[in-house]
């Protein structure tokens, strides 16, 4: 898969930080059942690699990726665990080079035109825009579309149901990342409902 393949699978990519493998399996199944198969499991908790491995094996319909990748070692460990795409908060030359060398579908975090141009130098044309709201939100991405009409984005960071369609209405935004889909203490049924609501909300904006 390339980054755009991943971005076109669903309008929202849940950004996930699991405390246990059991939680990962339960919540991932709920999200997939609700229509959001693309899952970004972040390297923010100790069980992240195990969660990537187990969810990849147990839920065939899930497209499991890794988030919060900050260096080549983390990227390779995640790929070995079964991640099919990677997301980073930013990017170094070393990370760009490793992603290109491993043919990884990577959405590297960008916040400026210069960030994007550096990624384009390594052959990428799709990026995470992060943190989206702090860096100008939908207005900034609209402005990016002028000089960079062929570049696609997945805004993450401050994206919520209330502003989701401000982003998704832009031609250079293919999907958005969000943390609101797995609130603390939510049941699997509640998470599935939130996923379905996100799908319906995205449809209503198009």
Asked whether residue 40 carries a pLDDT value surpassing 80, the answer given is yes
Report the candidate in 20, 17, 63, 57 with the shortest Cα–Cα distance to residue 41. 17
In order of their start, the domains of the chain are 3-204 (3.20.20.70)
Token pair recorded at residue 158 = 């401050």
* Strands of the 109-110 sheet, one edge to the other: 109-110, 126-129, 152-155
Q: Is 86 helix (H, G, I), strand (E, B) or coil?
A: strand
Asked whether residue 206 carries a pLDDT value surpassing 90, the answer given is no
pLDDT of residue 178: 96
CA separation (Å) from 82 to 38, 58, 60, 156, 200? Answer: 14, 12, 12, 23, 30
Q: Report the catalytic residues.
A: 40, 128
Q: What is the pTM of this model?
A: 0.97
Asked whether residue 126 carries a pLDDT value surpassing 80, the answer given is yes
Token pair recorded at residue 110 = 């960008």
Token pair recorded at residue 126 = 């799709």
Token pair recorded at residue 149 = 């009409």
Q: What φ, ψ does residue 161 adopt, rounded to 5°?
A: -55, -35
Asked whether residue 98 carries a pLDDT value surpassing 80, the answer given is yes
Q: Grade residue 58 by pLDDT with cuts at 50, 70 and 90.
A: very high
Q: Residue 81: which region, alpha, beta or left (left: phi > 0; alpha: psi -120 to 50)?
A: alpha
pLDDT of residue 205: 75
Asked whether residue 117 carries a pLDDT value surpassing 80, the answer given is yes
Reported residue count of the chain is 206
Asked whether residue 149 carries a pLDDT value surpassing 70, the answer given is yes
Identify the residue whose tokens are 């030359």.
Answer: 93
Cβ-based neighbours of 146, under 8 Å, separated by 6 or more = none
Average pLDDT over residues 148-177: 98
């Amino acid at each position: 898969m390339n980054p755009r393949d991943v971005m076109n699978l669903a309008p929202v990519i849940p950004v996930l930080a699991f405390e246990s493998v059991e939680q990962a399996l339960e919540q991932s199944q709920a999200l997939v059942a609700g229509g959001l198969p693309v899952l970004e499991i972040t390297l923010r908790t100790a069980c992240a690699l195990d969660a990537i491995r187990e969810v990849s094996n147990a839920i065939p319909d899930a497209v499991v990726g890794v988030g919060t990748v900050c260096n080549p070692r983390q990227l390779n460990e995640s790929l070995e665990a079964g991640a099919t795409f990677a997301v980073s908060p930013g990017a170094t030359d070393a990370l760009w080079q490793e992603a290109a060398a491993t043919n990884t579908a990577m959405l590297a975090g960008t916040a400026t035109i210069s960030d994007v141009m550096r990624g384009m130098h390594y052959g990428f044309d799709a990026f995470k825009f992060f943190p989206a709201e702090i860096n100008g939100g939908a207005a900034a991405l609209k402005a990016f579309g002028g000089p960079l009409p062929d570049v696609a984005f997945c805004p993450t960071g401050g994206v919520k149901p209330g502003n989701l369609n401000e982003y998704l209405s832009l031609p250079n935004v293919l999907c958005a990342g969000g943390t609101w889909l797995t609130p603390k203490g939510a049941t699997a049924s509640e998470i599935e409902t939130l996923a379905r609501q996100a799908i319906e909300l995205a449809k209503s904006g198009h």
